[in-house]
Amino acid sequence: MLDATTRATFTARSFRVETSDGLTLSAALHGPEEGKEIVLVHGLGQSRLSWIRQTGGTLAETHRILSYDLRGHGDSSRPDETGRYSDPQRWADDLKAVIDAAGFRRPVIVGWSFGGLITGYFLRHHGAAHVAGVNLVGAVTRLDPALLGIAALHHAGPLGSEDLAERVKAYASFLKSCFATPPDPADLEQMLVYNGMVPRAVQKAVVMLESEGLDTVWAQLPELLLSWGDEEQHTRYEMSRRVLDLNPRARMSVYDGAGHAPFYERPARFNRELAEFTAGLAAR
């Protein structure tokens, strides 16, 4: 049963899903039931609130949008055990669980940053037959230090530090590095809170993950859009460029002057391009 709550001019329905290993995921549905389906998968340390400029804007007036908190994030279960986060299958199964619970049949999946890696795991383990298309946003498509940006490499250790002062400083610095244009102060306060809610175990576990076979996943997708800000500090241009080389059907949209979160810094353009991408798939 989905609990209905009202947000701005659209309807959001919050719900919870149990995972295969007994955790609980927090999720929400936005927009009209007849709208084209979009699933938003946020990045490491973030939450479904990261997508407020999609779920709280005009995109949600015409599309059925599913957002959720990853395990270890936001209102989802946050066990402080690295083993809960080091298995790609669990991340893949989590995404499938929320898609199934929402009743989505053939959504477009939007994977931001670490959410791109999770999208890859989902496709690797569950296939792309029931996915209309994928939009990778500043996404980690391969775990290779040579493809990660300086900010991602710099913060990898400090975010999982045992020292509270170092960890707090790292979160503030990490968030600053995500944007070319500083976020609204009220939004930044919110971001600091939900980033700080993430257990150290999550940060420690992600370095144990792998990206075996994901090149094949990206190469075989029939519909793939990449979004990347040219002032990005977390994934290098080559991370997205190589996906274009792997998949001749893929296309890339570069956001001049935007950082790691173009969907936040350039919401009007991002929402328009996502809507156009989704509409184009539905027309085929």
Digit-coded pLDDT (tens) for 214-262:
999 999 999 999 999 999 999 999 999 999 999 999 999 999 999 999 9
Instruction: Give CA–CA dist 26/202, Å, rounded.
Output: 17
CA angle at residue 83 from 81 to 87, to 5 degrees? 140
What's the rounded mean pLDDT across residues 35-59? 97
Share of the chain above pLDDT 90, in %: 93
Q: Is the pTM of this model over 0.85?
A: yes
Instruction: Indicate if the pLDDT at residue 13 is higher than 80.
Output: yes
Crossing angle for the helix pair 114-126 and 88-102, to the nearest 10 degrees: 80
Tens-digit pLDDT profile for residues 150-173: 999 999 999 999 999 999 999 999
pLDDT class for 207, splitting at 50, 70, 90? confident
pLDDT class for 10, splitting at 50, 70, 90? very low
pLDDT computed for residue 281 by the predictor: 87
C-beta of residue 68 within 8 angstroms of C-beta of residue 28: yes
Torsion of CA 94, 235, 229, 239, to 10 degrees: -90
pLDDT computed for residue 282 by the predictor: 62
Give the phi and the psi of residue 2 in degrees, each rounded to 5.
-95, 130
What's the rounded mean pLDDT across residues 267-277? 98
Tell me the domains of the chain and their CATH numbers: 3-282 (3.40.50.1820)
Instruction: Give CA–CA dist 270/283, Å, rounded.
Output: 20
Share of the chain above pLDDT 70, in %: 95
C-alpha to C-alpha distances, 238 to 52, 81, 253, nearest whole angstrom = 29, 33, 14
- Bridge partners of 108, per DSSP, are 38, 133
Instruction: Indicate if the pLDDT at residue 2 is higher than 90.
Output: no
